[in-house]
Amino acid sequence: MTIDPATLATILAMAAATLAARLAGAFLVRRITLGPKLEQALNTVPPAVLMAVVAPTALTTGPAETAACAVTALAALRLPMLAAATAGVVTVAVLRALGF
């Protein structure tokens, strides 16, 4: 088991880029005074990021995924996280087994 120099350079470049992104936001936010508007905007980052990650899966992958996303969202209104997420996983597995 060896590490090739070119591969190592690539891994380090990727790691540096990713670490920079991980630190940049915190660094910037610490150095500016947050007005109420910016504070409010930052509060919308979690839903905005999560929606951006989920939307293509939810709406463009296939009927099984779209239906399972809807089931999960509805289950989340009543059930705790693990139960709601499980409902989604079971839905997608069953629908895929049925050929959707």
Partner 1 sequence: MQTARQTTDQTTRAGGDIVAGLKTILPMLVAVAPIGLVFGAVAVGKGLSPLEAMAMSALVFAGGSQFVAMDLWTDPPAWAALGFAALLVNLRLILMSASLERAVADFAPAQKLAAFAIMADENWALAEARSRRQKLTPAFYFGLSLPFYGMWLVSTAAGALLGAVIGDTRPLGLDFAFPAVFIVLLMGFWKGRQTGLVLAASALASILVHALLPGAWYIAAGALAGLAAAFIPLSREQVA
Question: What is the Cα–Cα distance from 4 to 21, expressed in whole angstroms?
Answer: 26
3-state DSSP assignment of residue 68: helix
Residues numbered 21-60 forming contacts with partner 1, rule: CB under 8 A: 21-26, 28-30, 37, 40-60
Q: Is 85 among the residues that bind partner 1 (CB under 8 A)?
A: yes
Q: Which of 33, 35, 63, 82 binds partner 1 (CB under 8 A)?
A: 82
**Least CB distance to partner 1 at residue 100 (A):** 12
Note the maximum CA span of the chain.
55
How far from 48 is each of 20, 42, 44, 62, CA to CA, in Å? 21, 10, 6, 22
The least distance separating partner 1 from the CB of residue 83, rounded to whole angstroms, comes to 9
Place of tokens 């540096």: 16
Q: In whole angstroms, how close is the CB of 71 to partner 1 at the nearest point?
A: 9
- Number of chain residues interacting with partner 1 (CB under 8 A): 72
Please identify, using beta-carbon distances, which residue of 21 and 63 lies nearer to partner 1: 21
